[in-house]
Structure 1
């Protein structure tokens, strides 16, 4: 880090990192009411780890997201989405992402929602590397139908555009 606190490297140092859940966030945008109304919300990250290795593509990432943390600020909608009709958070309390390949511009892996696992890819749109931590900004689009979340077709948006800001601290 330079004298005024700016990052000085572009790749985190090798080793194991834990996700700082207090400094990390997942936000989403979707559409509701036949695609006419925008919906914005958040999910909470429960925890996760990152193993930064050399070569970089062999690095590993695992993230756990609290499914019941789904929040749009509309209590009735949030209860409906957490219910058996959508996320069924009592039976499927976690959404997980496990990486298979990491490079400077993307992370590809397996996303599990409602017990269904599909391939997913995160596009890295920015990063900040410090001596003992790093933050990654990434985006992805998830098709809820691919994960068996099929209620309210037409009424609720099919896709969620996710934005992740994840801070990782060296263990």
Structure 2
């Protein structure tokens, strides 16, 4: 009887580990937009990279450790891109990554939210990022998040009447 009980406990523990295994980000995109005096500047970064633990049945056990290479953005204007890579904005030589590491994930209605630390340049702040999760037929998950960031909170540029402070970010990732 004791053997059977021990075996059941072991099986449940192993099943829990399998359903919450660590996944890699295998594809994705990062887009942003910010309004300025002449309209809206749209741009992209390379896909996010990192690890995720996610299962929609146990979102409280989820975690994310995601990085985006700060030097990979493109706005279709070489002069502007060069300026944004400088120490006035992203300072990519000194701070090569934008990093988000979650500390809590929870379900809110039919969506999720991840609370954690967002670091850009040398500034780290606690943020809550909303996201949608969809399980694909092949077992991967598609995660999408749209959120606003005040660039001045992270020392990305200075106050400027020609450029708005709030940047909208759209992050998409497929984890496997």
State the TM-score bracket (shorter-chain normalisation).
0.7 to 0.9
Q: Distance in 1 between matches of 2:74 and 2:60?
A: 33
2:42 to 33, 40, 65: 40
Mapped to 2, the partners of 1:136 and 1:67 lie a distance apart of 21
Secondary structure at 2:71's aligned position in 1? strand
Structure 1 residue runs without a partner (length 5+): 1-12
- 2:142 corresponds to which residue? 135
Matched-pair contact (CA < 8 Å) for 2:133–2:141: no
More relative contact order in 1 or in 2 (CA 8 Å, sep 6+)? 1
Find the counterpart in structure 2 of residue 19 from structure 1. Answer: 25
Question: Structure 1 159/63 Cα, relative in aligned 2: closer, same or farther at 3 Å?
Answer: same
**SS of residue paired to 2:114:** strand
More strand by share: 1
Q: Does the residue aligned with 1:145 lie in a helix, a strand or coil?
A: helix
Give the structure 2 partner of residue 3 of structure 1.
none
Shift of 1:95: 0.6
Structure label with greater radius of gyration = 2
The answer to whether 1:91 aligns with 2:94 is: yes
Whose helix fraction is larger, Structure 1's or Structure 2's?
A: 2
For the 8 Å contact 2:20–2:61, the answer to whether it is kept is no
- Structure 2 stretches of 5 or more lacking a match? 1-18
